Amino acid sequence: KWYQDRLQEILPVEYQHLVFALPETVSELARHNGPLIYGLLFAAASQALLHVARTWTPLQVDTGFIAVLHTWGQELFLHVHAHILWPAGGLSLDGTSWRSLPPGFCLPKGWLRDEFRERFLDGLQRAYDRGELVLRDRHGYLLAPAAFARWMAGLRTCYWNLHAEPVDVGREDLTRAEAARRTLGYLA
């Protein structure tokens, strides 16, 4: 049903598949903080995508997307990430026309990754400051504010994985709509 409902939302445009992944140590926080971590993941990914699409000079659009949470990797280990099916464009800021990226182009991944990381970590810091973050087992030592500050500083400088590519890259036998449906089927 979810898949059938989302099919009705697919536009006749090029799509890109984005994956925003949390580092392993942050993914592990979801064991005791699932709703908090998942909420931060969706908020940070969506805010980053909306901000970059709106402010990146070659595009400057208001956009939308379909996002899906995955909590496990292909080998069934904890790996929290969000898949996003994005229409590679949006409405011009004045709302008068559709503006797309040229085929094969992606948003600036470095900027998008940095925006995502900073928004997620800012939200995580706020949750810690409010006492909402459950820290136990491997993360129990982070109850000490100095330890948490050092851990966060490391997360602000480490690599966060962001995958971005046109849907079904290399499948020239598929139409735009078929490629979007195929990726949406994977997400479902």
- What pLDDT, in 10s, does the model give residues 16-62? 999 999 999 999 999 999 999 999 999 999 999 999 999 999 999 99
In the chain, pLDDT over 70 holds for what percent of residues? 96
Residue 101 to residue 89: CA distance in whole angstroms = 6
**Residue 170 has what pLDDT?**
63
Say if CB 101 and CB 14 are below 8 A apart.
yes
Return all residues near 178 (Cβ < 8 A) that are at least 6 apart.
168
Return all residues near 6 (Cβ < 8 A) that are at least 6 apart.
66, 184, 188
Closest residue by Cα to residue 78 from 5, 22, 1, 146: 22
Residue 76 to residue 174: CA distance in whole angstroms = 30
Binning pLDDT at 50, 70 and 90, where does residue 75 land?
low
**Residue 169 has what pLDDT?**
60
Say if CB 168 and CB 181 are below 8 A apart.
no
* Average pLDDT score over the chain: 92
